[in-house]
Amino acid sequence: MFAAYLVLVAWLVTRVKFFTNSGLSKSQLVILFLLKVMAGIFYGWIGVYYGEMAKMIDTWWYHYESLHETQLLKNDPTEFFSNLFRNSYEGGYTKFLSTHNSWWNDVKANFLIKIMAIFNLLSFGHYYVNVIFYSFITLFGPVAMFRVMKDVFPERRQIVLLTCFLIPSFLYWSSGLHKEGLIFVGLTLMVYHFYFGFKENRFTTTRIFFILFGFLLVLILRNFVIVTLTPPLIAWVLSRRLKWKPVFTFSGIMLIFVIIFFTGKYLSPKLDFPQAVVTRQQEFLRMSGGSTVPVTPLEPTLSSFISNTPHAIAMSMLRPYPSDVRHLLSLAAALEINVILLLFLVFLVWRKGRTRVSAFMLFSIFFSFAILMMAGFTVNNLGAIVRYRSPVLPFLVIPMMALIDWERLRRLVFNDINLKNNISDSAQNP
């Protein structure tokens, strides 16, 4: 069954126009699809054989819950679809950012379980066959990102291709049966249609539909991402529509939202955003995990957020440190983040000449930074940090890699090697 579906879906990948219009050949599409399938299989294997140590058992919990939901789908389809929207918690749908006793907290898992339950109708409940279906759906995300970044950096096609698909943590987390792959699809649907809508100066009904669909997908699966996505998205729209200078537009809009963030409570107690972040952190602190690290509890004040900013940056952008390594996944995460930091230093020293900073580039930077800071302020588990930052890595790593002057760096390295060889030859043959 696995082999039959793998061949069928691999063939289907080469027939979908969104994929074939990307400029990728059919063989490249199949290879990238198979890479995602292999990463998804590895993800499931880690959950079985390494799950307790690495806290990776969620994916199998979703699977076993989906088996019950498949039976419900067969016996009572109306209940299957309607109970997703049922809410029995006190406060109704108001606990938007809460991580427990909240419909918003439950819906992200329930939605994924429903999707896997539908997969089960075709796979007869086999986890690794479901990986094939999930890999097909989530392939839309990196292909959409590739089409955008290829247009932004047309002379860097190969680098864009590699970084769109092969960032290790991104490939791993977006391919496993979890939420990250679908979250990235939602984000890239919005980004793709905004980018080409602005470029073509035309927003069709289809574009608007996919923007709203992507927004809804992210809202369901990780609602706090919408909070961090909204300010840079507004800045992007204003800078393009009103022809404002992108740097000033983004800086101004982000400053306005920071002011609203800390002063909204004076307008209404329901707009106490700092307290919402503090509450979210406290709820994470009550959770246990193998990679949990001690943190200073936040307070809902400007001074507390400022004093905790260095820790938030370290948590979301620098860790895990080598001293944090406890198992295979943390070792891989530590190696990856250090390689990215090294490449960032290379970018600072050997980047291309003056590069025009576009509205899209600023959107990528401000959105990614907002996500990383939100995770750094609230999450005290390094495994969760690595997972939460994986969908935004392409927004940062792709432009960085594309803007490094690789030709200049190559000439520098080879000239240095030739110089050393000449010196060695001279020493041996005086």
pLDDT tens digits, 266-289 = 888 878 888 888 888 887 777 665
Question: Where is pLDDT greater, at 411 or 43?
Answer: 43
Asked whether residue 61 falls in the same domain as residue 177, the answer is yes
What b-and-e string marks burial along 198-219, b requiring 16 or more CB atoms within 10 Å of the CB?
beeeeeeeebeebbeebbebbb
Give the residue-averaged pLDDT of 200-229. 93
The answer as to whether 429 is a domain residue is no
pLDDT tens digits, 68-90 = 999 999 999 999 999 988 887 77
The answer as to whether 330 is a domain residue is yes
Distances from the Cα of 296 to the Cα of 261, 278, 283, 291, 321, angstroms: 21, 11, 14, 16, 18
Please say whether the beta carbons of 311 and 376 come within 8 A: yes
What b-and-e string marks burial along 335-351, b requiring 16 or more CB atoms within 10 Å of the CB?
ebbeebeeeeebbeeee
Q: How confident is the model at residue 363 (pLDDT cuts 50, 70, 90)?
A: very high
- Residue 357 predicted with pLDDT over 90: no
Question: Where is pLDDT greater, at 87 or 217?
Answer: 217
The torsion defined by the Cα of 210, 211, 217 and 221, in degrees rounded to 10, comes to 160
Within 10 A of 299 (CB to CB), how many other CB atoms are there? 14
Q: What is the pLDDT of the chain when averaged over all its residues?
A: 88
Asked whether residue 160 falls in the same domain as residue 255, the answer is no
Query: What pLDDT does 267 receive?
Result: 84
Query: What pLDDT does 423 receive?
Result: 57
What b-and-e string marks burial along 396-411, b requiring 16 or more CB atoms within 10 Å of the CB?
bbbbbbbbbbeeeeee
The answer as to whether 68 is a domain residue is yes
Asked whether residue 10 falls in the same domain as residue 58, the answer is yes
Distances from the Cα of 215 to the Cα of 27, 53, 140, 357, angstroms: 32, 34, 15, 26
Asked whether residue 8 falls in the same domain as residue 45, the answer is yes
pLDDT tens digits, 295-340 = 888 899 999 999 999 999 999 999 888 888 887 788 899 999 999 9
Length of the chain: 430
| 203: containing domain | 1-221
Asked whether residue 247 falls in the same domain as residue 206, the answer is no
pLDDT tens digits, 141-156 = 999 999 999 999 998 9
The answer as to whether 133 is a domain residue is yes
Tokens of 286: 């009550």
Q: Collapse the DSSP code of 126 into the 3-class scheme (helix H, G, I; strand E, B; otherwise coil) and give the result.
A: coil
Asked whether residue 38 falls in the same domain as residue 187, the answer is yes
The answer as to whether 170 is a domain residue is yes
User: What is the pTM for the complete model shown?
Assistant: 0.91
Distance CA 177, CA 39 (A): 10
Query: What pLDDT does 420 receive?
Result: 55
DSSP alpha helices (H): ranges in 242-272? 246-263
Asked whether residue 259 falls in the same domain as residue 185, the answer is no
Pick the last residue of a domain from 221, 254, 276: 221
Residue 317 has what DSSP assignment? Answer: I
Query: What pLDDT does 330 receive?
Result: 84
The answer as to whether 430 is a domain residue is no
Query: What pLDDT does 317 receive?
Result: 92
Query: What pLDDT does 391 receive?
Result: 93
Residue 318 has what DSSP assignment? Answer: I
Give the residue-averaged pLDDT of 49-67. 79
Asked whether residue 249 falls in the same domain as residue 107, the answer is no
Q: What string of DSSP letters covers 9-29?
A: HHHHHTT-HHHHTTT--HHHH
254 Cβ contact partners less than 8 Å away, ≥ 6 residues apart: 231, 232, 235, 366
The answer as to whether 407 is a domain residue is no
Q: Collapse the DSSP code of 244 into the 3-class scheme (helix H, G, I; strand E, B; otherwise coil) and give the result.
A: coil
Domain count, the chain: 2
- Residue 204 predicted with pLDDT over 80: yes
Query: What pLDDT does 141 receive?
Result: 96
The answer as to whether 419 is a domain residue is no
Tokens of 173: 């987390």
Please say whether the beta carbons of 177 and 44 come within 8 A: yes
Asked whether residue 208 falls in the same domain as residue 309, the answer is no
Query: What pLDDT does 289 receive?
Result: 59
Asked whether residue 67 falls in the same domain as residue 212, the answer is yes
Asked whether residue 291 falls in the same domain as residue 358, the answer is yes
Query: What pLDDT does 98 receive?
Result: 67
Q: How confident is the model at residue 91 (pLDDT cuts 50, 70, 90)?
A: low
Query: What pLDDT does 210 receive?
Result: 96
Asked whether residue 205 falls in the same domain as residue 248, the answer is no
R_g of the chain, CA atoms, integer Å: 23
